[in-house]
Amino acid sequence: MAGKALIFSAPSGSGKTTIVKHLLESNPSLGFSISASTRDRRGRTESHGKDYYFLTPEEFKHKIDADEFIEWEEVYAGNFYGTLKSEIDRIWAAGKDVIFDVDVKGGLNLKKYFGDRALAIFVKVPSIEVLKARLNDRGTETEESLSRRLFKANFEMSFQDQFDVVLVNEHLDTSLAEAQRLYDNFR
Ligand X SMILES: Nc1ncnc2c1ncn2[C@@H]1O[C@H](COP(=O)(O)OP(=O)(O)O)[C@@H](O)[C@H]1O
Ligand Y SMILES: Nc1nc2c(ncn2[C@@H]2O[C@H](COP(=O)(O)OP(=O)(O)O)[C@@H](O)[C@H]2O)c(=O)[nH]1
3 contact choice in ligand X, ligand Y, none (CB below 5 to 8 Å, kind-dependent) = none
Question: Which residue, 51 or 97, is less far from ligand Y as judged by CB?
Answer: 51
Amino acid in position 66: A
Binding mask 134-153 for ligand X (x = CB under 6 A): x--xx---------------
Give the strand pairing for 69-76 and 79-84: antiparallel
Binding mask 150-179 for ligand X (x = CB under 6 A): -------------------x-xx--x----
Give, in order, the Cα–Cα distances in Å from 34 to each of 46, 56, 135, 144: 12, 16, 22, 26
- Of 6-14, 34-42, 45-53, 87-95, the segment contacting ligand X by CB under 6 A is 6-14
Flag whether 10 is marked binding: yes
Residue 69: strand, helix, or coil: strand
Alpha-carbon span 70 to 18, nearest angstrom: 24
Question: Which residue, 74 or 170, is less far from ligand X as judged by CB?
Answer: 170
Amino acid in position 126: P
Question: Binding site membership for ATP: which residues?
Answer: 10-17
